[in-house]
Amino acid sequence: MMSTGVAPIIQQEVDHEAKICADLIGRSLGPYLKTVGLVSEAYLAQVLVALWDSGLYEYVRGNGKIEINAAAEELNLDPSVLRSLIEYLMGWGLMAPEGDGFVLSEKGRPYWNYITRGVLTAHLAGYNQLLVNLGPLLRKEIDINDPKLDRSGRLVASGSGYALQGSGTIPWILKLIKQISGTFVMDIGCGAGDFLIQLALRWSDGAGIGIDMNREAITQAIANADRCGVSDRLVFQFAKLSAEPMTIDKDILDKVDTLTAMYLVHEFSGRGGPAAITSAISQLRAQFPGRKLLMLEGERADPAALYAAPPRTFAQLDYSFIHPLSRQGPLRTAKEWEEIIKSAGATLLDRIPGFGQVPGWISLYIIALE
């Protein structure tokens, strides 16, 4: 028999643990229910992501009502599984029965939004494989480079895109691009093209190129741009930011006057620490001298500070926790970013925490690649 590494539990220990549970229930039922409620919240999050990633988000927006068989046929879904998921939401009070179908309830409507969809898709679904393998990683049964810890590039990219669009960040950044006289934008780590496409839809004279090291994402970006009618002004190409020059047609590179990097540059830390980030920014200086780089980055959480003053949400802690474990290296503080930018020979023109659209621990850095 395979050993679990856990010693047999003796009767005295069982009785002691049972007494702890009984005392907790008797003394403070609320906190006890909150702990066991973690299961329900985890189930709910998984159900929502499964539905949204299977077309139900748009289906509900377009039709209002879900008739199980009709929805299953249109979206090519298993009707019995779909019914199970929708009835689970009904049990939570998020879906209400209406005739022969279901509609979002008053309680359920706040869940149906791009920010919640984006956060759950990127962080819960995108990192699901890593999360379920934390135990083996902790027990040294696998190491940090094991493929079992790989995130889903598709889900992280699509989730990040939804959250970015829902936050109101894109119109705000477009206004800033216009203020600095930008006309042709390069979006580094463009994913499925959400950011550039939304820029183009709001900016009739704007154009740009999106690059990503994920070929599947580039294929999707090209299709999305075509579907949205902006493929005549946007180019998407497989390429990556590194210490080496990008292999992109010079005619296109010469058009670039503004570069954007949304929650991306910190990832180089996992490939060589701050020196790797410095090298990447230095390469941008060499290839795009005189241009502006608009960089969105989150600041690393301080667990001791959060313990002393608990926040309304633990989003910053979640974000800080998952990055080193997913081989992206730790997030940086604002001070560390300032030092990295300076060591790369670039100039930090401004740092705008939150910019009225997102939590204050996320900042927009305006960098001159001089």
Structural domain contains residue 335: yes
pLDDT confidence of residue 4 = 54
The tokens for 59 are 């289906």
Query: Over the stretch 213-225, which tens digit does the pLDDT of each residue have?
Result: 888 889 999 999 9
Structural domain contains residue 119: no
State the residue range of the domain holding 93. 15-112
Structural domain contains residue 123: no
Residue 287 sits in the same domain as residue 353: yes
pLDDT confidence of residue 130 = 96
Residue 271 clears pLDDT 80, i.e. is over it: no
Residue 284 sits in the same domain as residue 170: yes
Residue 306 clears pLDDT 70, i.e. is over it: yes
pLDDT confidence of residue 88 = 98
Residue 283 sits in the same domain as residue 157: yes
Structural domain contains residue 75: yes
Residue 26 clears pLDDT 80, i.e. is over it: no
Residue 101 sits in the same domain as residue 171: no
Residue 1 clears pLDDT 50, i.e. is over it: no
pLDDT confidence of residue 121 = 96
Residue 340: CA count within 13 A, CB half-sphere = 23
Residue 226 sits in the same domain as residue 313: yes
Mean pLDDT value of segment 307-323: 94
Query: Over the stretch 115-142, which tens digit does the pLDDT of each residue have?
Result: 999 999 999 999 999 999 999 999 999 9
The tokens for 103 are 């509609």
Residue 217 sits in the same domain as residue 347: yes
Residue 106 sits in the same domain as residue 33: yes
Mean pLDDT value of segment 279-308: 95
pTM metric for this prediction:
0.86
Residue type, 11: Q
The tokens for 222 are 């090209």
Residue 254 clears pLDDT 80, i.e. is over it: yes
pLDDT confidence of residue 7 = 61
The tokens for 171 are 């119109």
Angle at 164 between CA 357 and CA 260, to 5 degrees: 95
Structural domain contains residue 7: no
- Residue of 200 and 357 predicted with greater confidence: 200
pLDDT confidence of residue 228 = 96
Residue 179 sits in the same domain as residue 259: yes
| Per-residue pLDDT band at 270 (split at 50, 70, 90) | confident
Q: 112, 138, 162: which is the final residue of a domain? A: 112
Structural domain contains residue 340: yes
Here the CATH number for the domain that contains residue 84 is 1.10.10.10
Query: Over the stretch 181-195, which tens digit does the pLDDT of each residue have?
Result: 999 999 999 988 999
| Per-residue pLDDT band at 8 (split at 50, 70, 90) | low
Q: 83, 112, 141: which is the final residue of a domain? A: 112
Query: Over the stretch 66-78, which tens digit does the pLDDT of each residue have?
Result: 999 999 999 999 9
Residue 213 sits in the same domain as residue 71: no
Residue 180 sits in the same domain as residue 64: no
For residues 352, 358, 359, 360, the Cα torsion angle rounded to the nearest 10 degrees is: 10
Angle at 353 between CA 352 and CA 356, to 5 degrees: 90
Query: Over the stretch 238-248, which tens digit does the pLDDT of each residue have?
Result: 998 877 888 88
Query: Over the stretch 27-62, which tens digit does the pLDDT of each residue have?
Result: 777 777 778 889 999 999 999 999 999 999 999 999
pLDDT confidence of residue 57 = 97
Beta bridge partners of 368: 292, 347
Here the CATH number for the domain that contains residue 160 is 3.40.50.150
Structural domain contains residue 331: yes
Total of domains in the chain: 2
Beta bridge partners of 165: none
Q: 58, 81, 112: which is the final residue of a domain? A: 112
pLDDT confidence of residue 30 = 77
Residue 5 clears pLDDT 70, i.e. is over it: no
Structural domain contains residue 125: no
Residue 38 sits in the same domain as residue 162: no
Residue 157 sits in the same domain as residue 106: no
